[in-house]
Structure 1
Amino acid sequence: MRAPGGVIFWLLSVLCSLSRSWMASLSSLGGRHLNNMLGPKNYNGVANFSTFLLDRSSGVLFLGAKDAILAVDTNNLAQKSAPIVWDVPDDKKKSCMAKGKTEGDCRNYIRLLEFIGDGQIYACGTYAFDPQCAFLNMSSLSLERGEDGGVRMETGKGKCPFEPTQHYTAVMAGGILYTAATSNFLGTLFDISRATGQEQERIRTERSINWLSDPEFVSSAFIQQDEDNNPTGDDDKIYFFFTEVAKEYDLYTKVKVPRVARVCKSDVGGMKTLQRRWTTFLKAQLVCEDRASGQRYNILTDVFTAQHTPGDPSSTHFYGLFTSQWEHEELSAVCVYSLSDISRVMDGPFKELRKTCENWINPEPVPTPRPGQCLNSALRAEGFESSLKLPDKVLTFMRDHPLMENSVIAAPLLVRRGITYTKVAVTRTAMGLEADQNNAATVLHLGTDRGELHRVAVVGQNTTLLQEMPLFPTQEPVNNILLHKGQALVGSPLYLARVGAEGCSLYSSCEVCALARPLGCVWRAKEESCSPGKTGVIQGEEVQNALRLCDSGLGHCSPAQKELRVSLGLRVLLSCVQVSPLPCTWEHPPHRRTRQHHSDLEVTVTEESLGIYTCHCQEGVQAGKESHPCIRASYQLTLESPSVGSAVALSGGRHVLAVYILCFSIGVAFGGFLLYFLSKRCRIGQRHPDHSLSSEKGRDLLGSSATPQSPSSASLLSEGFPLTEKRTGNGTLLLTHHHNNSNGHHGNYGVGVAYDSNRGNGGYANNTNSNTAVTSATSSVAEGLKLHIHETSMDERRGGERGRPEEGERGGEGDDEDEGLGEGLGGLEEELAGFTLFKLPAPLAQCEESSI
């Protein structure tokens, strides 16, 4: 046992050294962003950042956190400022915890920060499940105090959610706050309301599932009309984006749909019908669908509002970030909707939701003036200066028909699988000789749930992934992205990072600069930098030529071929990164065994499946031209010995191999100890042979070791170890068995794709044998119990004539009883039937089928 112990000690030392190297790599990662990133250490542990508010004139960023508000100078992140503390008294915490909430939730999480003028910020927090709002003085960076010296607060119900993690959105329009949040402690009531202003003008949505059905609010936007360019005198509007359960679909499960809702700023409710309720609340379904494949993305997670032409509200576009309710894998898509498309749907037909028992009834005629429209010059000329003067028939129709018949439809700009995006922000770069927005490139800044920032360029139908940048030392989801003066302020619950958002200098390599050629970027070989070049419409051929000029000599559609050395019987997943929503196809050997998972290809390695595999994806070009195929990935499968292939599949790095060796050594040591313990027990049993059957007749007559152990099954192995996909840095996936070992290392980049269905059973066979042994022991107990009952019944029928044998006599009869056990139980059921104790109860009546 000393030799294995020495090996284990050596392996532990190796693991410790590896862990130190991992920590050093993480430290170096944080060191690179030390001047551009803030964390809990910078502000004495203040964390849980949830909302951002940027003063663009001074560059001061206000962050809502747990029990505090931070003010950060974005021009100098190293300059520290004291946090503005706003916590909850102890008695308030105890009262909250007495209602069943946790101590962590019974804090004050700042969820709302909005400018209200006069150098003040309106701040609202959850305040131990009793929302409260306060006033922050921007000049003194302090909360306004009351006469008693405490923070001057007012109720935040309807303005701020009760729970820290509830979905919520708010927007300030003309100094008035509009919110979409829960309005009760249980989180079961939902309102879109005008939360501040005059009391008689504070209105909200109707409490009806036709208006809001279990919504998850995402975003909101205030669209203000241009006073100098508004010939119709149309009213300002507020838009809300959310996902809710659809009531217009009768399916076996709840179907979620993304919605956009609109209310008008001058709406003050109705006189009799819809009192203190919206009279202009209309909603429509958002459709993000890839028509080629029929894939629809129905869960809305974020919306970014961009006005492409300053001062022109009609140029407003909404970039929606979606995922799918029906997909089990990570999936993200981006669709863009114009304000004109949404307005066209809002002016269209209404959906009739009421049904009879058999079919849909005819829709009601639409009254005049049209329900749901905002006030304009034409309505004011007819005498409708306020919503209070609308007739009841208009308000009744509005109450029963909040949903529009048509949907706002868009095709995805971007589709990514294996990635979950949480936030999106957009910048635009004009590509024409003049600032023509029709020839502009769109750059999507996408935050992931792993603390990364991705940049994707979209020109026409061409979509190019430019960068994948890890930001935070821990894999925390990105929950805020603000764009300011060419910088992107990216936040997570614990960190704030500042990175460049615009300019060709962001792309530090020749290949990335060539991919950014549609943005007007050109690689300068002498300066080894990326800088702006000539403007104009960029064709796909220019990107190819720019890539060929790089040292790699490869174009965007000519990737390097990767050789994968595999073994027979493996299952290999070949990755093809599909950024564009257009389809991808594979070229492969004719006699292969493959299965396509969207853009990726799964290959079962046989002699016939060896060869070259090429992925072709359709790329869109400029308007008026057809799409063309582009090679996204190329692989060559070659055969090698199974042992080497298995090592490639299971290693993934030196630390993984060390963990496997450590587990094997521990198993050997434990096995040796177990053998020693069993051998010692056997020697004790040989010294005392009386204990086999003499103690009690109800004990095991057959030991568990009497049953031979069955070997492990290969089919059980495949069921016991689920496949785990691990995406590597170059786009390939590694399929391995899922062992409960976590090395905690995130940056494991490289090419390795192998899955051996005939190997790596680990300790599963031992588990199978142990289950077999337990089954044998259970059957032995049952047989021993039957024999005990049989002998007891014979003693009672014979009146105890036959005495119990002595200990010495029973010691030599154990083997005979074991051999005759099967014959002695032949008539056991008939003998047991004579005893009242063993009579079976009457059979139960058969259950009748329910009529429901």
Structure 2
Amino acid sequence: MRTPRAPPPRPAPLLLLLLLGEANGLFPEEPPPLSVAPRDYLNHYPVFVGSGPGRLTPAEGTDDLNIQRVLRVNRTLFIGDRDNLYRVELEPSTTTELRYQRKLTWRSNPSDINVCRMKGKQEGECRNFVKVLLLRDESTLFVCGSNAFNPVCANYSMDTLQPLGDNISGMARCPYDPKHANVALFSEGMLFTATVTDFLAIDAVIYRSLGDRPTLRTVKHDSKWFKEPYFVHAVEWGSHIYFFFREIAMEFNYLEKPRARFLALKVVVSRVARVCKNDVGGSPRVLEKQWTSFLKARLNCSVPGDSHFYFNVLQAVTGVVSLEGRPVVLAVFSTPSNSIPGSAVCAFDMTQVAAVFEGRFREQKSPESIWTPVPEDQVPRPRPGCCAAPGMQYNASSAFPDEILNFVKTHPLMDEAVPSLGHGPWIVRTLMRHRLTRVAVDVGAGPWGNHTVVFLGSEVGTVLKFLIWPNASTAGATGPSVFLEEFETYRADRCGRSSSGEAGRRLLSLELDTASGGLLAAFPRCVVRVPVARCQQYSGCMKNCIGSQDPYCGWAPDGSCIFLSPGTRGTFEQDVSGASTSGLGDCTGEPGERPRGRHARPGTDLAHLLSYGGTDRTAPPVP
């Protein structure tokens, strides 16, 4: 059974009706969080502001940070800044200040700066902003900087930050303008990047370089391949690299008759594209030095109903995680900036993503035609976009017949959209002041590592924490998610107040640091490490601790609410399902008071209450 093609977005008046709940009451309710963390907790969280060994503040006379990228490798954090790269040790996790142990200063040379200024750029733009920061192998960092609009890349020792070899060109590997989005990853020694290749940022490209295979790129200046893309993320899965991005949808443009009026709807849609890792390009006649396997499809994140409500603007995507045995990515979407504000989280099974690329192609036969599916009998064989390999009819992509290569060149778009798991968002938040733009997921939360918690970061650093039930049918009336907590991550006292406006406190990344039980929130001028839970705020009140439904928190016999890291041993209780807190008092008695008859299991050192499918059962003890 084929997944229905996602129709074009609805006009704003209908969106408003949906948001107001007038579409047969199908729009989901949005309950408030079970807990809001007090702001004074924030003052105790460690922060990096450029401080080095032996000093609590940045060296006098240095610029404010302008962080672009962060990369965590085990217990070490690398921070790519403007003109600098920092190495920060994350241990001990109890430290009140994050300081760098090594610092690499990597400035643009005067000639590059002069050329940049001559081309009309401001002095502040003609610096070296670190835009690519990757682990190339177990001891080498691969770093690219914008270098005053003349991008350059280099290898550095992970331990000493000393250069390894000579610099290489950053063209097609790193954007010229630090404001432009880009993604990059290494696979099998090859660098896959998605960025722009020119000073004017009009040539968007997915590019493969380095390694032992030929350099490849997407077709240049072809709106069927790309139309003003904004690259968000890339993942490796199976024999392909998948790129997630948003762009202007060309499939809504056509010449309308009888008025001969060109109908061009500038609609942003979210996409996933893929390429074969072993692609070697086409023949000398068609797609030479270009991808023969590039295909793209729309991502469908919408609230179902008589009229679907679409979240079309992709903001962030996780890596591939395992949920209920499925390879899944979670993605954050929002509505357009000129629409009603709203954000949603949808999950996509990578096997379903791959299945869409085996489905029908979509085409526009003439400028006045609407886009329609390509009949199967008109699709050449072997299937366009497949990965050639030894032992197959064609052992390399360069051996494909011109008929196949021409079809791929003119038909990169799939007809069907990738459906979200459950055919709807797992989380929806509308009419918020700030969009949700970042996501981190913990698929091993709690003492047994059997719960999934999703952290969503807003533009200004407010984090929303949700408990997710991947199999929504087991959650009963609670739905697929529970809004556990809301807390702040931006430390205005250390990271700067409102002098630079909201842009100065824009959340750049949100990464889980499981070893310390924390989140690393990066902003332009600082990195803040915050805990994934604030269990101590419930100490002395069993009802609040149990009622928090937080997999990270448990009630201890001494009347405290304690943090439960994976493998925690000892006596504690929790009720992650939130089945009931009746009989637990109202928190007006003595601190730590425990009502009788609730969750009592004499003779065991683990009294842990969980719920699966609405039925309470005790989880097995930790080995």
TM-score bucket of the superposed structures, by smaller chain: 0.7 to 0.9
Equivalent in 72, 78, 83 of residue 67 of structure 1: 83
Aligned counterparts of 2:371 and 2:316: Cα–Cα separation in 1: 34
Aligned to 2:510: 481
How big is the shift at 1:454? 2.5
Which secondary structure state, in structure 2, belongs to the residue aligned with residue 266 of structure 1?
coil
How big is the shift at 1:407? 0.4
Closer, same or farther: CA 245–27 of 1 in aligned 2, 3 Å:
closer
Aligned to 2:169: 155
Aligned to 1:140: 160
Equivalent in 367, 391, 402 of residue 380 of structure 2: 367
Closer, same or farther: CA 507–179 of 1 in aligned 2, 3 Å:
farther
What is the letter of the counterpart of residue 484 of structure 2? Answer: L
Aligned counterparts of 1:79 and 1:360: Cα–Cα separation in 2: 55
Aligned to 2:208: 194
What is the letter of the counterpart of residue 382 of structure 2? Answer: P
Deviations 1:752-789 (A, max 9, x none): xxxxxxxxxxxxxxxxxxxxxxxxxxxxxxxxxxxxxx
Equivalent in 424, 431, 448 of residue 439 of structure 2: 424
Residues 642-653 of structure 1 aligned to structure 2 (within 5 Å): none
1:253 aligns with 2:284: no
What is the letter of the counterpart of residue 341 of structure 1? Answer: Q
Residues 124-135 of structure 1 aligned to structure 2 (within 5 Å): 124-135=144-155
Aligned counterparts of 1:552 and 1:257: Cα–Cα separation in 2: 52
Which secondary structure state, in structure 2, belongs to the residue aligned with residue 369 of structure 1?
coil
Deviations 1:240-268 (A, max 9, x none): 00001001113553001000001111001
What is the letter of the counterpart of residue 551 of structure 1? Answer: C
CA contact (8 A) 2:86 2:100 kept: no
Residues 257-406 of structure 1 aligned to structure 2 (within 5 Å): 257-271=269-283, 272-292=285-305, 294-308=308-322, 315-325=326-336, 328-355=339-366, 357=368, 363=374, 365-375=378-388, 380-406=390-416
Which secondary structure state, in structure 1, belongs to the residue aligned with residue 356 of structure 2?
helix
Which secondary structure state, in structure 1, belongs to the residue aligned with residue 362 of structure 2?
coil
How big is the shift at 1:464? 2.4
Aligned counterparts of 2:300 and 2:535: Cα–Cα separation in 1: 34
CA contact (8 A) 1:243 1:300 kept: yes
How big is the shift at 1:396? 1.1
Equivalent in 195, 207, 216 of residue 203 of structure 1: 216
What is the letter of the counterpart of residue 287 of structure 2? Answer: L
What is the letter of the counterpart of residue 211 of structure 1? Answer: W
Aligned to 2:483: 465
Equivalent in 104, 107, 125 of residue 105 of structure 1: 125
Q: Which has more helix, going by share of residues?
A: 1
Report % sequence identity.
28
Equivalent in 500, 509, 517 of residue 531 of structure 2: 500
How big is the shift at 1:502? 6.8
Aligned to 1:558: none
Deviations 1:152-209 (A, max 9, x none): 32110000000011011111112211000001000011000103234x6110111211
How big is the shift at 1:469? 2.0
Closer, same or farther: CA 491–193 of 1 in aligned 2, 3 Å:
same
Aligned counterparts of 1:358 and 1:307: Cα–Cα separation in 2: 41
In the superposition, the TM-score normalised over structure 1's length comes to 0.54
1:244 aligns with 2:247: yes
Closer, same or farther: CA 359–83 of 1 in aligned 2, 3 Å:
closer
What is the letter of the counterpart of residue 261 of structure 1? Answer: A
How big is the shift at 1:300? 0.3
Residues 433-444 of structure 1 aligned to structure 2 (within 5 Å): 441-444=451-454
CA contact (8 A) 2:362 2:371 kept: no
What is the letter of the counterpart of residue 365 of structure 2? Answer: R
Deviations 1:520-572 (A, max 9, x none): 85434742214668899965533x548x644289xxxxxxxxxxxxxxxxxxx
CA contact (8 A) 2:230 2:245 kept: yes
Q: Which has more strand, going by share of residues?
A: 2
Aligned counterparts of 1:98 and 1:507: Cα–Cα separation in 2: 60
Closer, same or farther: CA 273–49 of 1 in aligned 2, 3 Å:
same
User: Considering only CA atoms, is the larger Rg found in Structure 1 or Structure 2?
Assistant: 1
Aligned counterparts of 1:453 and 1:511: Cα–Cα separation in 2: 24
Closer, same or farther: CA 281–219 of 1 in aligned 2, 3 Å:
same
Bigger shift: residues 460-469 or 390-399? 460-469
Which secondary structure state, in structure 2, belongs to the residue aligned with residue 399 of structure 1?
helix
Tell me the C-alpha RMSD between the 2 structures: 3.2
How big is the shift at 1:294? 2.5
Closer, same or farther: CA 528–128 of 1 in aligned 2, 3 Å:
same
How big is the shift at 1:490? 1.5
Aligned to 1:684: none
Which secondary structure state, in structure 1, belongs to the residue aligned with residue 133 of structure 2?
strand
Which secondary structure state, in structure 2, belongs to the residue aligned with residue 517 of structure 1?
coil
Aligned counterparts of 1:206 and 1:118: Cα–Cα separation in 2: 34
Aligned counterparts of 2:210 and 2:426: Cα–Cα separation in 1: 38
In the superposition, the TM-score normalised over structure 2's length comes to 0.73
Aligned to 2:32: none
How big is the shift at 1:141? 2.2
Aligned to 1:185: 199
CA contact (8 A) 2:554 2:573 kept: no
Equivalent in 412, 426, 437 of residue 425 of structure 2: 412
Higher relative contact order (CA 8 A, sep 6+): 2
Q: Structure 1: state its 5+ residue gaps.
A: 1-25, 146-151, 226-235, 554-620, 626-852
How big is the shift at 1:346? 0.8
Which secondary structure state, in structure 1, belongs to the residue aligned with residue 457 of structure 2?
strand
How big is the shift at 1:507? 6.5
Aligned counterparts of 2:562 and 2:294: Cα–Cα separation in 1: 49
Aligned counterparts of 1:361 and 1:253: Cα–Cα separation in 2: 17
CA contact (8 A) 2:194 2:205 kept: yes
Aligned counterparts of 1:46 and 1:83: Cα–Cα separation in 2: 15
Q: Structure 2: state its 5+ residue gaps.
A: 1-37, 52-56, 254-262, 473-478, 565-570, 590-610, 616-623
What is the letter of the counterpart of residue 300 of structure 2? Answer: V
Aligned counterparts of 1:266 and 1:161: Cα–Cα separation in 2: 25
1:456 aligns with 2:428: no
CA contact (8 A) 2:344 2:426 kept: yes
Aligned counterparts of 2:443 and 2:455: Cα–Cα separation in 1: 11
Which secondary structure state, in structure 2, belongs to the residue aligned with residue 108 of structure 1?
coil
Equivalent in 153, 163, 168 of residue 182 of structure 2: 168
Aligned counterparts of 1:518 and 1:319: Cα–Cα separation in 2: 20
Aligned counterparts of 1:302 and 1:127: Cα–Cα separation in 2: 26
CA contact (8 A) 2:484 2:550 kept: no
Aligned to 2:257: none
Equivalent in 568, 587, 590 of residue 551 of structure 1: 587
Aligned counterparts of 1:30 and 1:541: Cα–Cα separation in 2: 31
CA contact (8 A) 1:455 1:467 kept: yes
1:48 aligns with 2:66: yes
Closer, same or farther: CA 194–506 of 1 in aligned 2, 3 Å:
farther
Deviations 1:737-764 (A, max 9, x none): xxxxxxxxxxxxxxxxxxxxxxxxxxxx
Aligned counterparts of 2:42 and 2:415: Cα–Cα separation in 1: 52
